[in-house]
Amino acid sequence: MTRASGSLKYPARVMLVAAMNPCPCGYYGDRSRPCVCTVTQIRRYRAKLSGPLLDRLDIHLDVPPVPVRELRAELPSAEGSAAIRARVVAARDRQRRRYRSDGFYTNAQLKPRQVKRYCGLDQHA
């Protein structure tokens, strides 16, 4: 936090997940239903989020609506908690082995230099 009188640093590890409609009516860009908002209404709606706040969100995704029939469709049988736990334990073990010489043990602890080292993408990616 920076104020006129000084600067403070609070340790925090946060993952923020946020969502919003594309416009006041919620149908801007929807292929199944027309948006009824004016350009001015859409601009005013989006202006409620400040630029500095949006600058701090690393990933922005447009998620299309899911038809109700798909939401009501029968889902395949869910994976059990024991199987999920086994996958998480295996992933944590891989991370612990991968980072053992760096002094940390999870992907969340990576600094930009380590991201470049461990998560580099090739030209195809």
Q: Domain range for residue 98?
A: 81-117
Is the domain of 29 the same as that of 53?
yes
Sole residue written with tokens 């005013």: 44
Q: How far apart are CA 98 and CA 5, in angstroms?
A: 43
In the chain, DSSP assigns E strands to 2-3, 6-7
Residue 123 covered by a domain? no
37-88 per-position pLDDT tens digit: 999 999 999 999 888 888 888 888 888 888 888 888 887 788 899 999 999 9
> pLDDT-based confidence at 110, cuts 50/70/90?
confident
Q: How far apart are CA 56 and CA 62, in angstroms?
A: 17
Would you say 28 and 42 are in contact if contact means Cβ atoms under 8 Å apart?
yes
Is the domain of 27 the same as that of 52?
yes
Regarding predicted confidence, which is higher, 31 or 34? 34
pTM of the model: 0.51
